[in-house]
Amino acid sequence: MSEKETPKELLEEAEQETNKAIDLVEWLRKNNAYLERRAKEKATRQETIQLISDDNQEIADADQRDSESTELADLEEEEKVHLSNDNLENAETSELEGADTPESEADKETLEQALGENDVKETLTSEEELSEKDMGNDSDVEESSESEEEKESSEEDSQAPEEDSEETTEETQTVLPEPESSLSELTDNSSKRPRVRLSVSHKHLIRLITLFFATLTTILVTGYLVSPWSKLKNVTVEGQVQVSAEDVLANTGIRKSDYTLTTFLNQKQIAKTLEKQLVWVKDAQVSYQFPIDFKITVEEHQIVGYVKDGTAYYPVLSSGVTLDAAVAAENLPDPYVLFDMTDLSQVKAFVANLSQLGAASPLSRIVTVKAAPTTASADLLALETVEGHTVYVPLSEVAEKMAYYEKVMQNLAVPSYIDMEAGIFTYAK
Residues 405/396, Cβ–Cβ less than 8 Å: no
Would the pLDDT of 240 be above 60? yes
Could you read off the pLDDT of 285-297 as tens digits, one per residue? 999 999 999 999 9
pLDDT at 56: 83
pLDDT at 156: 46
For residues 366 and 286, membership in a common domain is answered with no
The packing angle between helices 138-159 and 165-175, to 10°, is: 140
Q: What is the mean pLDDT of residues 16-40?
A: 89
pLDDT at 93: 67
For residues 331 and 271, membership in a common domain is answered with no
CA 338 centroid distance within chain: 61
Please check whether residue 394 lies inside any domain of the structure.
Answer: yes
pLDDT at 385: 93
For residues 389 and 329, membership in a common domain is answered with yes
Residues 339/306, Cβ–Cβ less than 8 Å: yes
Q: What is the pLDDT confidence band of residue 117, given thresholds at 50, 70 and 90? A: low
Would the pLDDT of 194 be above 50? no
For residues 324 and 390, membership in a common domain is answered with yes
For residues 350 and 372, membership in a common domain is answered with yes
Residue 370 zone, left/alpha/beta (φ > 0; ψ -120 to 50; rest): beta
For residues 283 and 307, membership in a common domain is answered with no
Would the pLDDT of 131 be above 70? no
For residues 233 and 339, membership in a common domain is answered with no
For residues 390 and 354, membership in a common domain is answered with yes
Residues 403/353, Cβ–Cβ less than 8 Å: no
Q: pTM above the 0.85 mark? A: no
pLDDT at 112: 54
Please check whether residue 249 lies inside any domain of the structure.
Answer: yes
Would the pLDDT of 114 be above 70? no
Would the pLDDT of 145 be above 60? no
Q: Provide the 10 A C-beta neighbour count for residue 219.
A: 10
Range of the domain at 367: 303-428
Percent of the chain with pLDDT over 70: 73
Domain boundary among 251, 271, 300: 300
For residues 423 and 309, membership in a common domain is answered with yes
Sign of CA dihedral 215, 217, 219, 225: negative
Would the pLDDT of 421 be above 70? yes
Q: What is the mean pLDDT of residues 374-402?
A: 91
Percent of the chain with pLDDT over 90: 33
Would the pLDDT of 119 be above 60? no
Would the pLDDT of 391 be above 90? yes
Average pLDDT value over all residues in the chain: 78
Pick from 112-116, 224-228, 267-271, 310-314: least confident: 112-116
Could you read off the pLDDT of 356-379 as tens digits, one per residue? 888 778 888 899 999 999 888 899
Q: Provide the 10 A C-beta neighbour count for residue 284.
A: 25
Q: What is the mean pLDDT of residues 57-84?
A: 82
Domain boundary among 300, 332, 349: 300
Q: What is the mean pLDDT of residues 133-146?
A: 47
Q: What is the pLDDT confidence band of residue 225, given thresholds at 50, 70 and 90? A: confident
Domain boundary among 283, 300, 317: 300
For residues 361 and 400, membership in a common domain is answered with yes
pLDDT at 75: 83
Could you read off the pLDDT of 175-187 as tens digits, one per residue? 444 444 444 444 4
- Write the CB contacts of 321 (distance below 8 Å, at least 6 apart in sequence): 279, 301, 348
Q: Does 172 or 148 have the greater pLDDT score?
A: 148
Q: Does 152 or 38 have the greater pLDDT score?
A: 38
Residues 326/313, Cβ–Cβ less than 8 Å: yes
State the CATH number of the domain containing residue 280: 3.10.20.310
Residues 314/323, Cβ–Cβ less than 8 Å: yes
For residues 371 and 392, membership in a common domain is answered with yes
Q: Does 155 or 334 have the greater pLDDT score?
A: 334
For residues 392 and 282, membership in a common domain is answered with no
The packing angle between helices 165-175 and 177-226, to 10°, is: 20
Please check whether residue 355 lies inside any domain of the structure.
Answer: yes
Collapsing DSSP to helix, strand or coil, 137 comes out as: helix
Would the pLDDT of 245 be above 90? yes
Pick from 195-199, 219-223, 392-396: least confident: 195-199
Please check whether residue 380 lies inside any domain of the structure.
Answer: yes
Q: What is the number of domains present in the chain?
A: 2
State the CATH number of the domain containing residue 383: 3.40.50.10960
Residues 279/301, Cβ–Cβ less than 8 Å: yes
Please check whether residue 118 lies inside any domain of the structure.
Answer: no
Please check whether residue 239 lies inside any domain of the structure.
Answer: yes
How far CA 141 is from CA of 69, 82, 354, in Å, comes to 12, 20, 101
pLDDT at 92: 65
pLDDT at 73: 82
Would the pLDDT of 86 be above 60? yes
Could you read off the pLDDT of 42-65 as tens digits, one per residue? 988 888 888 888 888 888 888 888
Please check whether residue 4 lies inside any domain of the structure.
Answer: no
Whole-number Å distance between alpha carbons of 315 and 332: 10
Q: What is the mean pLDDT of residues 346-355?
A: 91
Please check whether residue 26 lies inside any domain of the structure.
Answer: no
